[in-house]
Amino acid sequence: MLNFVSSIDFSNPYFSVLILLVIAIAMSVGFVFLSQALGPKRYDRVKYSVYECGVEPFTSASVRISVKFYLIALLFILFDLETAFLYPWAVLFRQLGWFGFIEMAIFILILLAGLVYAWKKGALDWQ
Amino acid sequence: MHLGNLASLTLFLPEIAVTATILLLILVHVAGKNRQSAAPALLSLAGVGTALLLVALQPASPARSLFEGMVALDGFAIFFKALTALATIVVIFMSMESRELASRSQTEYYIFLLSVLLGMFLLAASTDIVMLYLALELVSIPSYLLAGYIKGRESSTEAAMKYVVYGATASGVMIYGFSFLYGLTGTTQMAEIGRALAAGKAPLPVYLASVMVTVGFGFKIAAVPFHMWSPDVYEGAPTPITAYLSVGPKAAGFAVLVRFFYTVFATPDAVAGTWKLSQSVDWPMLFGILSAVTMSVGNLIAINQKNVKRLLAYSSIAHAGYMLMGFVLLTPVGLKAILFYLVVYLFMNLGAFYVVILVANGTNSEEIADYSGLGSRAPFAAISLAIFLFALTGIPPFSGFIGKVYLFAEVINRGVYWLAVVAALNSVVSLYYYARIVKVMFLEDPKETTEMPVQAFPRAVISLLAIPTLLLGIYWEPVARVAANSVRLLAF
């Protein structure tokens, strides 16, 4: 034990962090058990409901969501990112010149192929 | 030398060819009315063929770093690009023949197939951990789709589901390991990470990161204990895809495993062609155990299989174990043995799967029991399957033997005798289950006696796979030389 204590490097700047960590864990765990042990226990209907305050739940929380939402979300992210790339290009348009224009045109054409594909596959129809 | 984005483009032609083919296929799919036409297959054949040609024309030396250090162009990358492109061409031939896929949309199938190929090109070449992760996902995500490509079949959907869950977990663990490496070194460049790790001392986080990264790579090559997905996926997926997964992504997985461990955990020595392990981790022991366990588990479970695809799945796990033997000592000779074995393995394994497809087309079954009397019903198919299976066992006149000799030789030369003994015992075990199929084909009475003629085209493809399998067992020097030359990795 003495050996262990003497091996601890108290001057280490992180030693206070360790102490803080120990105290934080002890407090958070300790209060859970303390309230369990000391708190009054009175159970009634209100306590057993899902929320003690707020709206009563009227259906199950796991609802089936149409897969179309995900499709739209995916397409949105794709074309949202496209605009994110377009902004910096638009700002530097004059400096980049024709090289930048052609590079961007290829990028947009590739995305366009994807859009045509999604369109023809009916990903944009809400039926 | 680091090349900029524009200068890299001329050295990036194979990848551009594959990308252009994918885009063209998307347009063909949108414009085309006939979902079952052979046009997409021919188009992708032309695209992959062009890519293979462009790969062959690429200069292997000096090794170059493209796109500001994202991917490498070195002998190693070129070797794996050629290997995976070749595998893709054979798989396209298989897919054209397979009846399972005939009712499904053809174009999308080839779009996914070529996306996997593009991913494998990048995976074998990536020198940056972010690029590596991106390439790995580009291989994985279309593979999930392809595994579940036969929508109505329960086993196919199950295969895709299991593959997604395992794949997502493995890549999640791997990228967590990458985050440690980045946190420790402050760079995503593999070479710089290697230098930083060689200079500094942080053993515990490095152990942790290397174990986590091994999980991701182990999943791709289906090494025990990360192999659980492979039997179910291999059984449920369409047979051409099973063949593809057992050769293509596995080869790419080995490529990335080797490149990563060489550049991150080893430094090139002053003597040309040798590497020095920079960490104090006992890599030989770790990978030796991994290799021994992988081959033993694969072979022992394969004994009891009744389904051919499942049997070949376990045999594929066992072969990953054999190939890991070459990785154990991180020597160029061992590496050359892996590269040579992958070439041999490509021909014999794809050949075996091709015959399985032909038999399934004729009998609608993949059970070993239904192979009875194949020797008299379809002698050509039966004899070629026997050749492929004996080659997989590693019996002398066939190419599998030479591949194993190279793998065994390095392990024995370096004095890891126990691993050589385990591998030799495993080869004996594997003879039993491979020979059992041969016995069923030739010695058991057929349930049906109708002949199953093999058309001229499949006959030609099987011959193209069987001839190298035989020839490389007798005259293997050129391939071995190419493999030895390809071991040179980009290092600076």
Taking CA atoms, B280 is separated from B322, B325, B399, in Å, by 25, 20, 37
Residue B208 binned pLDDT confidence (cut-offs 50, 70, 90): confident
Distance separating alpha carbons of residues B109 and B87, to the nearest angstrom: 16
Residue A1: its pLDDT value, please?
Answer: 62
Pairing of strands B266-268, B64-66: unpaired
Q: Is A43 left (phi over 0), alpha (psi -120 to 50) or beta?
A: beta
Distance separating alpha carbons of residues B137 and B121, to the nearest angstrom: 13
Average pLDDT, chain B: 89
Residue B295 pLDDT more than 90?
yes
Give the long-range contacts of residues B164-171, CB within 8 A, separation 24 or more: B166/B219, B166/B228, B166/B229, B167/B140, B167/B143, B167/B219, B167/B229, B170/B215, B170/B216, B170/B218, B170/B219, B170/B220, B170/B226, B171/B133, B171/B136, B171/B137, B171/B140, B171/B216, B171/B219
* More confident site: B157 or B273: B157
Residue B490: its pLDDT value, please?
Answer: 67
Residue B308 pLDDT more than 70?
yes
Residue A89: its pLDDT value, please?
Answer: 92
What is the DSSP code (8-state) at residue B11? G
Distance separating alpha carbons of residues B196 and B181, to the nearest angstrom: 10
Three-class secondary structure of residue A57 per DSSP = coil
Helix (H) or strand (E) holding B66: strand B64-66
* Contact check, Cβ <8 Å, A113/B27: yes
Q: Tens digit of pLDDT for each residue in B412-437?
A: 988 889 999 999 999 999 999 999 99
CB burial readout B172-198, b (16+ within 10 A) else e: ebbbebbebbbebbebbbbbbbbbbbe
* More confident site: B237 or A59: B237
Distance separating alpha carbons of residues B206 and B280, to the nearest angstrom: 10
Residue B94: its pLDDT value, please?
Answer: 93
* More confident site: B54 or A55: B54
Residue in chain B nearest A116 by alpha carbon: B30
Q: Average of pLDDT values for B152-168? A: 92
Mutate to test the interface with A, among B23, B105, B118 (most CBs of A within 10 A): B23
* Contact check, Cβ <8 Å, B23/A120: no
Distance separating alpha carbons of residues B469 and B461, to the nearest angstrom: 13
Q: Average of pLDDT values for B304-327? A: 92
The answer to whether residues B320 and B294 touch, using CB atoms and an 8 Å cutoff, is yes
Q: Average of pLDDT values for A26-43? A: 89
Task: Retrieve residue B400's tokens.
Answer: 């599998």
The answer to whether residues B141 and B125 touch, using CB atoms and an 8 Å cutoff, is no
Q: A-contacting residues of B 20-79, CB under 8 Å?
A: 23, 26-27, 29-30
* Contact check, Cβ <8 Å, A117/B30: yes
Residue B281 pLDDT more than 70?
no
Instruction: Return all residues near B369 (Cβ < 8 A) that are at least 6 apart.
Output: B306, B440
Q: Average of pLDDT values for B81-96? A: 95
Cα three-residue angle B88-B227-B350, rounded to 5 degrees: 25
Mutate to test the interface with B, among A104, A109, A116, A119 (most CBs of B within 10 A): A116
Q: Average of pLDDT values for B154-162? A: 93
First to last CA, chain A: 74
Of residues B342, B379, B331, the one with CA closest to residue B359: B379
Three-class secondary structure of residue B364 per DSSP = coil
* Contact check, Cβ <8 Å, A116/B29: no
Residue B194 pLDDT more than 60?
yes
Residue B90 binned pLDDT confidence (cut-offs 50, 70, 90): very high
Residue in chain A nearest B27 by alpha carbon: A113
Q: How many CB pairs under 8 A join A and B?
A: 12
Residue B276: its pLDDT value, please?
Answer: 56
B460 in contact with A, Cβ within 8 Å = no
* Contact check, Cβ <8 Å, B26/A120: no
Q: Average of pLDDT values for A6-16? A: 78
B428 in contact with A, Cβ within 8 Å = no
Q: Average of pLDDT values for B265-284? A: 59
ipTM over 0.85: no
Q: Tens digit of pLDDT for each residue in B230-271?
A: 999 999 999 999 999 999 999 999 999 999 988 887 765 545
Residue B280: its pLDDT value, please?
Answer: 55
Q: How far is B22 from chain A (nearest CA, A)?
A: 10
* Contact check, Cβ <8 Å, B30/A116: yes
* More confident site: A46 or B106: B106
Residue B315 pLDDT more than 90?
yes
Q: How far is B26 from chain A (nearest CA, A)?
A: 7
The answer to whether residues B356 and B312 touch, using CB atoms and an 8 Å cutoff, is yes
Q: Tens digit of pLDDT for each residue in B344-390?
A: 999 999 999 999 999 998 888 889 988 888 888 889 999 999 999 99
Taking CA atoms, B374 is separated from B170, B368, B378, B393, in Å, by 41, 11, 5, 20
Residue B201 binned pLDDT confidence (cut-offs 50, 70, 90): low
Q: Average of pLDDT values for B399-419? A: 90
* Contact check, Cβ <8 Å, B23/A110: yes
Residue B272 pLDDT more than 50?
no
Task: Give this prediction's pTM.
Answer: 0.87
How would DSSP label each residue in B434-447? HHHHHHHHHHSPPS
